Structure 1
Amino acid sequence: MKYTRLPNTNIRVSKICLGTMTWGRQNSEEEGHAQMDFALDKGVNFFDTAELYPVPAKKELYAVTEEIIGRWFVKTGNREKVVLATKIAGNGDYTKFIRTTGFAKDALITAVEGSLKRLQTDYIDLYQLHWPERDTNYFGKRGYDADQHDFWEDNIHQVLETLRDLVQQGKIREVGISNETPWGAMRYLEESKVHQDLPRMQTIQNPYNLLNRLFEVGLSEVAMRERIGLLAYSPMGFGTLSGKYLGEVPPRKGRVTLFPQYNRYSNENAVAATRKYAALAEEHGLSLAQMALAFVNTRPFLTSNIIGATSLEQLDENIASINITLPNTILEGIEEIHNTIPNPSP
């Protein structure tokens, strides 16, 4: 395994992070526990979860994934071996069964206390804001609509004040953002620069993969110049970058088969690009999954690559991507395909 640090901290994390969003829906508790055992044995010390998991979000399954992790900590005694990240759910129609107060002080406190209880731990290493409160980007939408009007009032100072209090109480160590824009990232960073008693956002968890490299437009410069590290999620594009959906008969238990609303990586251009990437990988004796993950691992703005799997076989292959070095011929081939079909999945 290779390791890095959460930016501006002494917290050492594996460059492969174990994602957990299938546990409690696509995966049983037993399977989730087996994945954590396996990943830790392979040197993965960084686990990412959220109160919203498992996904798709469902009231009856609210926060089950955190509970599964908590019971594993109790069973194994491995809490101190893991750098643990979780998130508060943002606003959205699919989260209204959780709360409707966004990131107000009481909502943040309630969310942290709930996660601590379910995870059966005294502290969270990295606490993240899952989505912006304001109306801006979302799945399937590329840019900000200048004509839209929302009723969000800038409360970023207040959010950071609440997070500061939680840090001072020892309940969280570091903070981060997720699904953010360049404006949002800089707004948080500038607030903590001006008010140095406020915590600094150290990471940003956004999608990044061969079919969606929109992080490179604006946010990569923010990440490099401001030292805020990318935690790349969906590096396999909901599994489409394994190539398993390219056949005539989709896999019966695949995420996109089970949940067809997860179609952002399945449009015509995305499928065409995936076929090209699959051919490039085959030409060089790699699986598409290995090439897709190894590409993400090469990015200079990456702190950790969040992988997920529904089987130990998939998990083993995904973790092993850390040991793959892509030659220039593959990297040049990737850029050629990207320039032909850039970012087909918003």
Structure 2
Amino acid sequence: MQYELLGSSDLRVSRVCLGTMTFGIQNTQQDANEQLDWALDQGINFIDTAEMYPIPPNEQTYADTERFIGNWLAANPQKRQDIVLMTKIAGSGIRYIREGSEISAATIEQAIDASLQRLQTDYIDVYQLHWPNRTSPHFAKHWPWRTNPRNTDVAKERAGMRDIVQGIGKAIDSGKIRHWGLSDDTPWGIHTYLNLCEELGVPKPVSIQNEFSLLHAKDWPYLIETCAFEDVAYLPWSPLATGMLSGKYLNDERPKGSRWTFVQRQGLFRNTETAHEATARYVEVAQRARITPSQLALAWVNLVPGVTSTIIGGTTLEQLKENVQAFDMTLSDDTLRQIQQVMKRYPMPF
């Protein structure tokens, strides 16, 4: 397993980050224990979760993923020092989470205390903002006319972000969190937080995690360049496009228990004709390379300059093993050329 520094922090994290959003719906506590144990045995020391998980979110299972991880930590207290644990505060819009309130210094304090209790730990290594308070171009809102920057009160947004930074600074000073990061944000968001941190004397964010895959490469090069130049770790999530790039949803297939058989909060916006056409071409490229489609997609993301660690998961241990193998694979120049041809033909398939 290879390791990288996490942005400007002193944390060395594995190039593979174990995503846990299936713990609590698609995976039982026993499944979670097996995945966590196996991941650490492979040298994976980077674990990502969120208070909102499992996915799809609902009031009945709210925060169960953190509880599963907390139960595992309680049974294995000696392993806490071996992992870098990340979690996230949910933003506005979910009524059963702090009545749908926006992220603020006050809600950060509430959310951190609750996460620490569920995770059964004294500190969180990296605490992340799950999404901005403003509308950002993520979750299919990257298309023209889906957002309008003129609708944002920039002064009000900056004031809210200043309050957030002050709340983060307080949490760091208390020792409850060691570092912090962003998620589903933009170059403007990154730079505004960097400026506010300098102004307020608060440590800057060390990472950002955004959706990034062969089907959704909009962050390359612009946002990833920002991360590389500003020493902010870039952490792709959903590198298989919610499993689509495995090929399992081709021809309208819906394998039993797969993610697309559950109602999604944002809908199946990735389920487009063009995305299926692109996926079929990537499956063909993988077949010629004699690797699985999932391994092709993950090996490609791992090669992208500026990517620090890729967040992956699996509903079965077998899937997780297959996916982790991708990070030891080298794609040939011919395979990379074929991938580039498909990307040029389908640059924004969903």
> How far apart, in 1, do the equivalents of 2:112 and 2:290 lie?
46
> How far apart, in 2, do the equivalents of 1:319 and 1:283 lie?
20
| Counterpart secondary structure, 1:303 | coil
Partner of 1:341: 346
> How far apart, in 2, do the equivalents of 1:163 and 1:179 lie?
18
- Specify the code of the residue in structure 2 equivalent to 1:300: P
> How far apart, in 2, do the equivalents of 1:296 and 1:161 lie?
34
Which stretches of structure 1, 4 residues or more, deviate above 6 A after TM superposition? Answer: none
> How far apart, in 1, do the equivalents of 2:290 and 2:38 lie?
26
Partner of 2:162: 157
1:288 aligns with 2:293: yes
> How far apart, in 2, do the equivalents of 1:290 and 1:149 lie?
40
| Counterpart secondary structure, 1:74 | helix
TM-score under structure 1 length normalisation: 0.95
State how 1:34-49 maps to structure 2 within 5 Å: 34-49=34-49
> How far apart, in 2, do the equivalents of 1:292 and 1:216 lie?
15
Q: How far 1:84 sits from its partner (Å)?
A: 0.1
> How far apart, in 2, do the equivalents of 1:148 and 1:164 lie?
29
Q: How far 1:262 sits from its partner (Å)?
A: 4.5
Q: How far 1:305 sits from its partner (Å)?
A: 0.3
- Specify the code of the residue in structure 2 equivalent to 1:60: Q
Partner of 2:247: 243
User: What per-residue deviation string (whole Å, max 9, x for no partner) do you get for residues 219-252 of structure 1?
Assistant: 0221121111111100011111111111454212
> How far apart, in 2, do the equivalents of 1:8 and 1:142 lie?
28
Q: Mean Cα displacement is larger for which, 216-225 or 173-182?
A: 216-225
Partner of 1:111: 111
Count of matched residue positions in the alignment of Structure 1 and Structure 2? 342
Contact 1:307 1:318 in 2 (8 A): yes
User: What per-residue deviation string (whole Å, max 9, x for no partner) do you get for residues 233-282 of structure 1?
Assistant: 00011111111111454212211123366423220110010011111111
Contact 2:70 2:118 in 1 (8 A): yes
**Alignment match of 2:237 (pick from 229, 233, 255):** 233
**Alignment match of 1:302 (pick from 292, 307, 313):** 307
Q: Percent identity?
A: 40
Q: How far 1:149 sits from its partner (Å)?
A: 4.9
User: What per-residue deviation string (whole Å, max 9, x for no partner) do you get for residues 289-340 of structure 1?
Assistant: 0010001111111111000100000010111111001111111111111111
> How far apart, in 2, do the equivalents of 1:217 and 1:102 lie?
30
**Alignment match of 1:320 (pick from 318, 325, 337):** 325
User: What per-residue deviation string (whole Å, max 9, x for no partner) do you get for residues 107-139 of structure 1?
Assistant: 000000000000000000000000000123241
Partner of 2:128: 128
| Counterpart secondary structure, 1:180 | coil
> How far apart, in 1, do the equivalents of 2:54 and 2:153 lie?
29
Contact 2:136 2:184 in 1 (8 A): no
> How far apart, in 1, do the equivalents of 2:228 and 2:81 lie?
30
> How far apart, in 1, do the equivalents of 2:224 and 2:8 lie?
17
Distance 1:257 1:60, change over 3 A: closer
Return 5+ residue gaps in structure 1 as ranges: none
State how 1:244-283 maps to structure 2 within 5 Å: 244-247=248-251, 249-259=253-263, 262-283=267-288
Distance 1:263 1:150, change over 3 A: farther
State how 1:166-181 maps to structure 2 within 5 Å: 166-181=171-186
Partner of 2:151: 148
Q: Mean Cα displacement is larger for which, 217-226 or 29-38?
A: 217-226
| Counterpart secondary structure, 1:266 | coil
> How far apart, in 2, do the equivalents of 1:248 and 1:237 lie?
16
- Specify the code of the residue in structure 1 equivalent to 2:96: F
Partner of 1:6: 6
> How far apart, in 1, do the equivalents of 2:288 and 2:222 lie?
33
Partner of 2:31: 31
- Specify the code of the residue in structure 2 equivalent to 1:269: T
Distance 1:300 1:138, change over 3 A: closer
Q: Mean Cα displacement is larger for which, 66-75 or 240-249?
A: 240-249
Q: How far 1:147 sits from its partner (Å)?
A: 5.0
- Specify the code of the residue in structure 1 equivalent to 2:209: Q
Root-mean-square deviation (CA), in Å? 1.6
- Specify the code of the residue in structure 1 equivalent to 2:84: V
Distance 1:338 1:186, change over 3 A: same
Q: How far 1:194 sits from its partner (Å)?
A: 3.6
TM-score under structure 2 length normalisation: 0.94
Partner of 1:91: 92
